[in-house]
Amino acid sequence: MVQAPAQIATTDLATIAIDRIHQAGCEYGDIRLCTYRSQNLTARDRTLSQLADNVSSGFGVRVLLNGAWGFAASHNRTLAEVERIVNLAVDIAKASHLSQQTQVQLVPVTAYSDTYVTPIAIDPFSVPITEKAELLLQLNEQLLSYGDRGIKKAYSYLRFTREDKIFASTAGATIQQTIYRSYPGFGCTAIANGDAQSRSYERPPLNIGYEHIQPQDLLAQVDRVATEAVEKVNAPLGPSGISTTIILKPTNLFLTIHESIGHPTELDRVYGYEANFAGTSFATTDKLGTLQYAAPWVNFRADRTQLGGRSTLGYDDEGVPAQDWYVIKDGILVDYLTDRETAYRLGRDSSNGCAYADSWASVPMVRIPNLGLEPGPDGSSHTATLSEMIADTENGILIDGIGSFSIDQQRRNFQFGGDAFWKVEKGKVVGMLKNVTYHSMTTDFWNRVDALGPASEREQCGTSMCGKGEPIQLAQMTHACVPVRVRNIQIGGSQ
């Protein structure tokens, strides 16, 4: 195992794997050969607690034999190991066949030969480590300079990834992709009055180069973040057991979109593939085209082509090209998020390209793509800027950033918190609150949206930590959105 293997070109390994899959009589097969380089820096208080440069490489082979799946993966990129892994995947498919009642079938896909590289201005791995480390320690030092006012803890981080993936399939596809990801952020904790409260700021995780880091922007936020953490720890508790109006900034709303729009419309969940773990969905196929999911002025659009989106790329992990489509149009559920298998079950003739595997060792599955809330159109009676929403609110709570989040396994009952809360009274923000949560049922919530921000207030917020599957996989996606105002939402105290 630790001997030097005979080196062979990656593309040749792919060709050999596809040949072996054909020879094994599989109706379909693919191989992904991947190398992930990640650079992670984390500073805690005045120490750089993490400085790591990691490389993970290997390949995964997926075969469909007699309508049953088999998948095997290895870190060892040698000819002998490729042959062993193909044979193992075939054996696994034969074992899957034992319990098979309905054969898996796939919608067709054009066999593309193509390359895709994330457009970037600055390669994150070309920037000196010292520059990155100094930025984080400077951020923390400035946050801790508010120590006499209560800031006792500080953290900051930089995350960079470069993913090199080669996909080849028995359908004839050969696709090479290089995806860059960048993600900076920081936060602090104020300790006072027997309480501890945090405040944070991030430039959202995006597929973009080092130009996303913007040290001056990060440093410029320090004073506001530290001051708000101090105000928050001294703030009164939020109300409990009332219904009120809430105004959600994109930095909070993206996670509500993720949990209550994204996951329920994953078609594998709808069909029960996740029943044992992540759960199923209330948005079943009998409701397609009729379910009034949201107010008529609310539209959600998936888009894997949008510049910088965290799931933006050329092709998904089944070789399906990136595309965009409405999931909720005029408030009605009109489509799902599919891979080739679930699209076939729905009777579609193509997949909308949501297959993703988080590693060479992971099997592709349906994952949420970039899924955004469309801005309110100019001139609409339901379009308002954030300032206009506040000015037009008699009593309410303004929420920024993410905090607590939990939703039931069919994605109806949810409860979310936030990173910062302000009381709104007679059209004005009148002071901070702490420990606020809002609670609703998914369709009740989205049907109570009465104002949407305009395109000028759209932000590309998102997550790099979406867990699903067994073994669990982490996916990454953007939920571009605008501020919204939602009426009559239950507020529960969390003290």
> By CB under 8 A, what part of segment 384-443 binds another protein?
403-413, 415, 417, 435, 437, 439, 441
> Where on the phi/psi map is residue 253: left (φ > 0), alpha (ψ -120 to 50), or beta?
alpha
Within 10 angstroms of residue 406's Cβ, the number of other Cβ atoms is 12
> In whole angstroms, what is the distance from residue 63 CA to residue 96 CA?
11
Among 170, 182, 189, 312, binds another protein (CB under 8 A): 189
Question: Judged by CB under 8 A, does residue 93 bind another protein?
Answer: yes
Instruction: Put residue 172 in one of left, alpha, beta given phi > 0 → left and psi -120 to 50 → alpha.
Output: left
Question: Which of these ranges, 43-51, 217-225, 243-251, 449-457, lies near another protein under the rule CB under 8 A?
Answer: 43-51
Q: CB 307 → another protein: shortest distance, Å?
A: 31
Residues 6 or more apart whose CB falls under 8 angstroms from that of 203 comprise: 183, 184, 185, 212, 213, 214, 217, 218
- State the nearest-atom distance from the C-beta of 410 to another protein, in Å: 4
Binding flag, residue 159, another protein (CB under 8 A)? no
We find the least distance from the C-beta atom of residue 324 to another protein, in angstroms, to be 28
Q: Give yes or no for residue 72 binding another protein (CB under 8 A).
A: yes
Within 244-263, which residues bind another protein (CB under 8 A)? none
- Least distance (Å) between residue 439 CB and another protein: 6
Which one of 79, 122, 144, 152 is in contact with another protein (CB under 8 A)?
A: 152
Region label for 179, one of left (φ > 0), alpha (ψ between -120 and 50) or beta (otherwise): beta
Distance CA 412, CA 447 (A): 13
- Under the binding rule (CB under 8 A), the answer on residue 145 touching another protein is no
Among 46, 105, 123, 395, binds another protein (CB under 8 A): 46
Contact residue for another protein among 102, 126, 381, 456 (CB under 8 A): 102
Tell the smallest beta-carbon distance from residue 278 to another protein (Å): 10
55 near another protein, judged by CB under 8 A? yes
Selected binder of another protein within 13, 26, 33, 71 (CB under 8 A): 71
Within a 10 A sphere around the Cβ of 142, how many other Cβ atoms?
A: 20
Which residue in the set 10, 32, 70, 208 belongs to the binding site for another protein (CB under 8 A)?
70
Taking CB under 8 A as the criterion, which residues in 3-22 touch another protein? 3-5, 7
Residues numbered 268 to 327 that lie near another protein (CB under 8 A) are 271-277, 279, 282
Measured CA to CA in angstroms, residue 94 lies from 16, 63, 74 at distances of 21, 10, 20
